[in-house]
Structure 1
């Protein structure tokens, strides 16, 4: 089923509805859809490298808007909808772990989830459930930084390096995102340490 969904997402790149499809998939992936928008983003950027940053902008924008939907599901519809999404994807353990992360540093947890392969939808839904620890603006700000950073890495790589980088992104995108996130968080800690 996942393979069929993957191919369905990818086929939009060859149609005139590529950008609207990217917006829709970015939106729904933040709360319940299993295929990340990176798949379509890469294909669209490869087809029109000069429009790569436009694709990145819309992908990030609708991903953050979808995160707000995820927040609402957790806040108002967890028992009816949110729990079923978590159970459908077998994310129960991840959900419990996210609750603990929110007790430590909600902003950093969401920023990391937005940028890395961690299941972002779990973080958006859980943010609504744990709304006393995670304000909506915290979700929006951290998501905007994390999601934009992730998609910008993809778009910029294709814009500047073209087709050769596509093979690397297809194979190592998640690894690149994790490495970049580690460097980003590490730099925050270094700056904080130097400021003492």
Structure 2
């Protein structure tokens, strides 16, 4: 319960930037941080910004993708150069150290494209970015997989608001609180999948 309360507090803090003139910068840095160490997915702020300015939705998706891909490279660097001092403590904090060897098998089987799956789904992206660096996965393939998966995820969200306009906007506005709870639930489910089922 304490963990859920912390996540909700972080979610509320994240959403506070939606009404701020610094909202775009906040989106960029949130996406960057989430790919390497922060728990709240940037989708929450991305949706809020897109709802406030639907015609700028694709721009927000580009900002979010750029931050997330850069954050993935930060996660990669943490695993490659600072695994013991920073990378491993991040994994310990999220209770993911016991899945480190398992992820290594995924990388050996699917190379950096394992990152592509994690980048599009609620699985903890930071586990894959840090692990990719630790296992020295090919950096170009890692970059391409990150870009494709993160762009696919964020442009799908923003594009639905941009192209379907008021219909999607009214739906999301009406169920925004429910959708943010679902995002948090998917986040927690991602950690559960990594921790227990894989």
TM-score higher than 0.5: yes
Please state how far the C-alpha of 1:136 moved relative to its aligned partner.
1.1
Structure 1's unaligned 5+ residue stretches are: 176-196
User: Structure 2 residue aligned with 1:145, among 137, 140, 148?
Assistant: 148
Q: Match for residue 184 of structure 1?
A: none
Q: Match for residue 14 of structure 1?
A: 19
Aligned residue pairs total 173
State the SS of the aligned residue for 1:32: coil
- Runs of 4+ in structure 1 off by over 4 angstroms are 171-175
- Cα contact 1:113–1:120 (8 A) shared by 2: yes
Structure 2's unaligned 5+ residue stretches are: 1-5, 187-198
State the SS of the aligned residue for 1:138: helix
In structure 2, the CA distance between the partners of 1:92 and 1:165, relative to structure 1 (3 Å rule), is: farther
Q: Distance in 1 between matches of 2:156 and 2:171?
A: 11
Aligned pairs for 1:1-150 (under 5 A) are: 1-131=6-136, 134-150=137-153
Q: Distance in 2 between matches of 1:165 and 1:105?
A: 38
Please state how far the C-alpha of 1:2 moved relative to its aligned partner.
1.6
User: Structure 1 residue aligned with 2:162, among 159, 163, 169?
Assistant: 159
TM-score (norm 1): 0.83
State the SS of the aligned residue for 1:156: helix
TM-score (norm 2): 0.82
